[in-house]
Protein backbone atom coordinates (compact mmCIF):
# COMPACT_ATOMS: atom_id res chain seq x y z
CA UNK A 1 0.00 0.00 0.00
CA UNK A 2 2.93 2.34 0.59
CA UNK A 3 4.07 1.95 -3.02
CA UNK A 4 0.60 3.01 -4.19
CA UNK A 5 0.81 6.15 -1.99
CA UNK A 6 -2.68 5.72 -0.59
CA UNK A 7 -1.76 7.79 2.48
CA UNK A 8 -0.79 10.71 0.26
CA UNK A 9 -4.01 10.41 -1.74
CA UNK A 10 -6.10 10.21 1.45
CA UNK A 11 -4.38 13.33 2.79
CA UNK A 12 -5.09 15.19 -0.46
CA UNK A 13 -8.73 14.14 -0.32
CA UNK A 14 -9.04 15.31 3.30
CA UNK A 15 -7.55 18.70 2.38
CA UNK A 16 -9.86 19.27 -0.57
CA UNK A 17 -12.93 18.00 1.27
CA UNK A 18 -12.15 20.31 4.17
CA UNK A 19 -12.10 23.20 1.71
CA UNK A 20 -15.36 21.92 0.25
CA UNK A 21 -17.11 21.32 3.58
CA UNK A 22 -18.18 24.88 4.22
CA UNK A 23 -19.20 25.77 0.65
CA UNK A 24 -21.25 22.55 0.73
CA UNK A 25 -22.73 23.59 4.05
CA UNK A 26 -23.68 26.98 2.58
CA UNK A 27 -25.35 25.23 -0.35
CA UNK A 28 -27.28 22.66 1.71
CA UNK A 29 -28.40 25.07 4.45
CA UNK A 30 -29.44 27.75 1.96
CA UNK A 31 -31.32 25.22 -0.15
CA UNK A 32 -33.13 23.68 2.80
CA UNK A 33 -34.13 26.97 4.38
CA UNK A 34 -35.43 28.15 1.01
CA UNK A 35 -37.23 25.02 -0.18
CA UNK A 36 -37.88 22.74 2.82
CA UNK A 37 -38.72 23.18 6.48
CA UNK A 38 -36.42 24.11 9.34
CA UNK A 39 -37.36 20.85 11.05
CA UNK A 40 -35.72 18.76 8.32
CA UNK A 41 -32.47 20.71 8.65
CA UNK A 42 -32.49 20.21 12.43
CA UNK A 43 -33.16 16.50 11.93
CA UNK A 44 -30.28 16.15 9.48
CA UNK A 45 -27.92 17.92 11.88
CA UNK A 46 -29.05 15.49 14.57
CA UNK A 47 -28.17 12.56 12.31
CA UNK A 48 -24.70 14.02 11.69
CA UNK A 49 -24.23 14.27 15.43
CA UNK A 50 -24.48 10.48 15.68
CA UNK A 51 -21.91 9.86 12.93
CA UNK A 52 -19.21 12.53 13.34
CA UNK A 53 -16.83 13.04 16.27
CA UNK A 54 -18.26 15.57 18.72
CA UNK A 55 -15.70 18.34 18.09
CA UNK A 56 -16.11 18.15 14.32
CA UNK A 57 -19.90 18.08 14.66
CA UNK A 58 -19.94 21.17 16.87
CA UNK A 59 -17.92 23.04 14.25
CA UNK A 60 -20.37 22.11 11.48
CA UNK A 61 -23.49 22.69 13.59
CA UNK A 62 -22.33 26.11 14.77
CA UNK A 63 -21.65 27.19 11.18
CA UNK A 64 -25.04 25.83 10.04
CA UNK A 65 -26.91 27.73 12.77
CA UNK A 66 -25.20 30.97 11.76
CA UNK A 67 -25.97 30.38 8.08
CA UNK A 68 -29.68 29.93 8.82
CA UNK A 69 -30.00 33.67 9.38
CA UNK A 70 -28.01 34.72 6.31
CA UNK A 71 -29.86 35.83 3.15
CA UNK A 72 -30.11 33.04 0.57
CA UNK A 73 -30.11 33.16 -3.22
CA UNK A 74 -26.58 33.97 -4.34
CA UNK A 75 -25.23 31.88 -1.44
CA UNK A 76 -26.65 28.77 -3.10
CA UNK A 77 -24.76 29.45 -6.33
CA UNK A 78 -21.54 30.42 -4.54
CA UNK A 79 -21.76 27.36 -2.31
CA UNK A 80 -22.36 25.00 -5.24
CA UNK A 81 -19.48 26.41 -7.30
CA UNK A 82 -17.08 26.31 -4.34
CA UNK A 83 -18.11 22.77 -3.49
CA UNK A 84 -17.68 21.52 -7.04
CA UNK A 85 -14.23 23.09 -7.38
CA UNK A 86 -12.83 21.81 -4.08
CA UNK A 87 -14.57 18.45 -3.75
CA UNK A 88 -14.05 17.41 -7.37
CA UNK A 89 -10.31 18.06 -6.93
CA UNK A 90 -10.33 15.73 -3.94
CA UNK A 91 -12.27 13.11 -5.90
CA UNK A 92 -9.72 13.42 -8.73
CA UNK A 93 -6.96 12.70 -6.21
CA UNK A 94 -8.82 9.58 -5.05
CA UNK A 95 -9.23 8.53 -8.69
CA UNK A 96 -5.44 8.71 -9.06
CA UNK A 97 -5.04 6.59 -5.93
CA UNK A 98 -7.51 4.01 -7.21
CA UNK A 99 -5.65 3.84 -10.53
CA UNK A 100 -2.46 3.04 -8.64
CA UNK A 101 -4.30 0.48 -6.50
CA UNK A 102 -5.61 -1.30 -9.61
CA UNK A 103 -2.25 -0.78 -11.38
CA UNK A 104 -3.80 0.90 -14.43
CA UNK A 105 -2.65 3.97 -16.35
CA UNK A 106 -4.85 7.04 -16.64
CA UNK A 107 -5.79 7.30 -20.33
CA UNK A 108 -8.89 9.49 -20.00
CA UNK A 109 -8.63 13.06 -21.22
CA UNK A 110 -8.50 15.93 -18.74
CA UNK A 111 -12.02 17.01 -19.70
CA UNK A 112 -13.45 13.51 -19.27
CA UNK A 113 -11.62 13.00 -15.98
CA UNK A 114 -12.80 16.31 -14.58
CA UNK A 115 -16.35 15.62 -15.77
CA UNK A 116 -16.32 12.26 -13.97
CA UNK A 117 -14.97 13.82 -10.77
CA UNK A 118 -17.67 16.54 -10.85
CA UNK A 119 -20.38 13.94 -11.56
CA UNK A 120 -19.12 11.82 -8.65
CA UNK A 121 -19.12 14.89 -6.41
CA UNK A 122 -22.74 15.64 -7.29
CA UNK A 123 -23.72 11.99 -6.95
CA UNK A 124 -22.09 11.60 -3.54
CA UNK A 125 -23.63 14.86 -2.32
CA UNK A 126 -27.06 13.68 -3.42
CA UNK A 127 -26.48 10.31 -1.76
CA UNK A 128 -25.50 12.04 1.49
CA UNK A 129 -28.69 14.11 1.51
CA UNK A 130 -30.85 11.13 0.55
CA UNK A 131 -29.15 8.93 3.13
CA UNK A 132 -29.71 11.49 5.86
CA UNK A 133 -33.32 11.87 4.75
CA UNK A 134 -33.75 8.09 4.89
CA UNK A 135 -32.38 8.07 8.42
CA UNK A 136 -34.85 10.77 9.46
CA UNK A 137 -37.72 8.88 7.78
CA UNK A 138 -36.66 5.64 9.47
CA UNK A 139 -36.85 7.30 12.88
CA UNK A 140 -40.35 8.57 12.11
CA UNK A 141 -41.43 5.12 10.94
CA UNK A 142 -40.08 3.63 14.15
CA UNK A 143 -42.01 6.15 16.23
CA UNK A 144 -45.23 5.37 14.36
CA UNK A 145 -44.74 1.61 14.80
CA UNK A 146 -44.05 2.00 18.51
CA UNK A 147 -47.14 4.18 18.92
CA UNK A 148 -49.57 1.96 17.01
CA UNK A 149 -48.06 -1.44 17.87
CA UNK A 150 -46.73 -1.29 21.45
CA UNK A 151 -44.65 -4.45 21.27
CA UNK A 152 -41.02 -4.95 22.25
CA UNK A 153 -39.80 -5.52 18.70
CA UNK A 154 -41.31 -2.27 17.39
CA UNK A 155 -39.03 -0.30 19.70
CA UNK A 156 -36.07 -1.60 17.71
CA UNK A 157 -37.67 -1.17 14.28
CA UNK A 158 -36.68 2.48 13.86
CA UNK A 159 -33.11 1.80 14.98
CA UNK A 160 -32.72 -1.15 12.61
CA UNK A 161 -34.21 0.82 9.71
CA UNK A 162 -31.85 3.73 10.45
CA UNK A 163 -28.80 1.45 10.50
CA UNK A 164 -29.89 -0.27 7.28
CA UNK A 165 -30.56 3.06 5.55
CA UNK A 166 -27.17 4.44 6.54
CA UNK A 167 -25.33 1.31 5.41
CA UNK A 168 -27.15 1.27 2.05
CA UNK A 169 -26.25 4.93 1.43
CA UNK A 170 -22.60 4.33 2.37
CA UNK A 171 -22.40 1.17 0.28
CA UNK A 172 -23.78 3.06 -2.72
CA UNK A 173 -21.25 5.87 -2.17
CA UNK A 174 -18.28 3.52 -1.94
CA UNK A 175 -19.66 1.60 -4.93
CA UNK A 176 -19.76 4.76 -7.03
CA UNK A 177 -16.14 5.55 -6.22
CA UNK A 178 -14.87 2.02 -6.88
CA UNK A 179 -16.93 1.66 -10.08
CA UNK A 180 -16.30 4.99 -11.81
CA UNK A 181 -13.09 6.16 -10.10
CA UNK A 182 -10.40 3.89 -11.58
CA UNK A 183 -9.74 3.74 -15.32
CA UNK A 184 -10.92 0.14 -15.68
CA UNK A 185 -12.34 -1.72 -18.64
CA UNK A 186 -16.05 -2.51 -18.45
CA UNK A 187 -15.51 -6.24 -17.88
CA UNK A 188 -13.50 -5.52 -14.73
CA UNK A 189 -16.10 -3.22 -13.14
CA UNK A 190 -18.29 -4.30 -10.24
CA UNK A 191 -20.55 -1.94 -8.29
CA UNK A 192 -20.91 -3.86 -5.01
CA UNK A 193 -17.54 -5.27 -3.98
CA UNK A 194 -15.91 -6.82 -0.90
CA UNK A 195 -13.58 -3.81 -0.79
CA UNK A 196 -16.56 -1.49 -0.35
CA UNK A 197 -17.87 -3.51 2.59
CA UNK A 198 -14.45 -3.71 4.26
CA UNK A 199 -13.86 0.00 3.60
CA UNK A 200 -17.15 0.94 5.26
CA UNK A 201 -16.37 -1.26 8.26
CA UNK A 202 -12.90 0.29 8.63
CA UNK A 203 -14.30 3.81 8.34
CA UNK A 204 -16.97 3.16 10.99
CA UNK A 205 -14.39 1.63 13.33
CA UNK A 206 -12.01 4.55 12.79
CA UNK A 207 -14.81 7.05 13.37
CA UNK A 208 -15.89 5.37 16.62
CA UNK A 209 -12.27 5.00 17.71
CA UNK A 210 -11.53 8.67 17.07
CA UNK A 211 -14.65 9.75 18.96
CA UNK A 212 -13.78 7.53 21.94
CA UNK A 213 -10.16 8.69 21.97
CA UNK A 214 -11.24 12.32 22.07
CA UNK A 215 -13.85 11.62 24.74
CA UNK A 216 -11.52 9.64 27.02
CA UNK A 217 -8.30 11.60 26.57
CA UNK A 218 -9.66 15.10 26.07
CA UNK A 219 -7.47 15.46 23.00
CA UNK A 220 -7.91 18.54 20.79
CA UNK A 221 -9.78 20.31 23.60
CA UNK A 222 -10.80 23.94 23.21
CA UNK A 223 -8.61 24.89 26.18
CA UNK A 224 -5.48 23.81 24.28
CA UNK A 225 -6.35 24.13 20.59
CA UNK A 226 -9.19 26.66 20.71
CA UNK A 227 -11.31 26.80 17.56
CA UNK A 228 -8.68 24.80 15.66
CA UNK A 229 -9.51 21.65 17.62
CA UNK A 230 -12.72 21.06 15.67
CA UNK A 231 -10.93 21.69 12.37
CA UNK A 232 -8.21 19.14 13.24
CA UNK A 233 -10.79 16.51 14.19
CA UNK A 234 -12.79 17.13 11.00
CA UNK A 235 -9.60 16.83 8.94
CA UNK A 236 -8.70 13.54 10.64
CA UNK A 237 -12.21 12.20 10.08
CA UNK A 238 -12.04 13.05 6.37
CA UNK A 239 -8.56 11.49 6.20
CA UNK A 240 -9.93 8.21 7.57
CA UNK A 241 -12.71 8.38 4.97
CA UNK A 242 -10.16 8.68 2.15
CA UNK A 243 -8.08 5.84 3.57
CA UNK A 244 -11.14 3.60 3.79
CA UNK A 245 -12.00 4.20 0.12
CA UNK A 246 -8.44 3.51 -1.04
CA UNK A 247 -7.92 0.45 1.16
CA UNK A 248 -11.17 -0.92 -0.27
CA UNK A 249 -9.76 -0.36 -3.76
CA UNK A 250 -6.53 -2.14 -2.80
CA UNK A 251 -8.51 -5.14 -1.55
CA UNK A 252 -10.60 -5.26 -4.73
CA UNK A 253 -7.41 -5.15 -6.79
CA UNK A 254 -5.83 -8.02 -4.86
CA UNK A 255 -9.03 -10.09 -5.10
CA UNK A 256 -9.10 -9.51 -8.87
CA UNK A 257 -5.46 -10.62 -9.18
CA UNK A 258 -6.07 -13.74 -7.06
CA UNK A 259 -9.08 -14.73 -9.14
CA UNK A 260 -6.88 -14.86 -12.25
CA UNK A 261 -4.41 -17.29 -10.72
Question: Mind listing the pLDDT tens digit for each residue in 153-182?
Answer: 666 766 777 777 778 888 888 888 888 888
What is the number of structural domains in the chain?
1
Q: For the segment 206-227, what is each residue's pLDDT rounded down to a tens digit?
A: 888 888 887 777 666 666 666 6
- Section 114-126 average pLDDT: 85
Establish if 1 belongs to a structural domain: no
pTM of the model: 0.77
Choice among 35-44, 90-99, 103-112, 205-214 with the minimum mean pLDDT: 35-44
CA-based diameter of the chain, in Å? 61
Nearest to 91 by CA among 158, 182, 223, 198: 182
91: in domain: yes
Domain contains 18: yes
Range of the domain at 235: 6-259
HSE (CB half, 13 Å, CA atoms) of 78? 9
Give me the pLDDT at residue 135, please. 65
Q: What is the DSSP string of the chain?
A: -TTTTHHHHHHHHHHHHHHHHHHHHHHHHHHHHHHS-HHHHHHHHHHHHHHS-HHHHHHHHHHHHHHTTS--SHHHHHHHHHHHHHHHHHHHHHHHHHHHHHT----S-HHHHHHHHHHHHHHHHHHHHHHHHHHHHHHHHHHHHHHHS--HHHHHHHHHHHHHHHHHHHHHHHHHHHHHSS---GGG--SS-HHHHHHHHHHHHHHHHHHHHHHHH-TT-HHHHTTHHHHHHHHHHHHHHHHHHHHHHHHHHHHHHHHT-
Structural domain includes residue 154: yes
pLDDT of residue 71: 55
Residue 48 lies in a domain: yes
Tell whether 243 is covered by a domain: yes
Amino acid sequence: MNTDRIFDSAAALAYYLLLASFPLLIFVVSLMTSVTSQHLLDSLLGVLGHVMPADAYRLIAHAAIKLEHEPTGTLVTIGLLGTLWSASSGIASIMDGLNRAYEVEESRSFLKRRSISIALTLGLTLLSILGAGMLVASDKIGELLSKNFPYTWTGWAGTLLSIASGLVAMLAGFGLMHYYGPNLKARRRYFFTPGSLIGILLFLLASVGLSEYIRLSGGFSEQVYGAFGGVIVLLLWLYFLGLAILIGGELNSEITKASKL
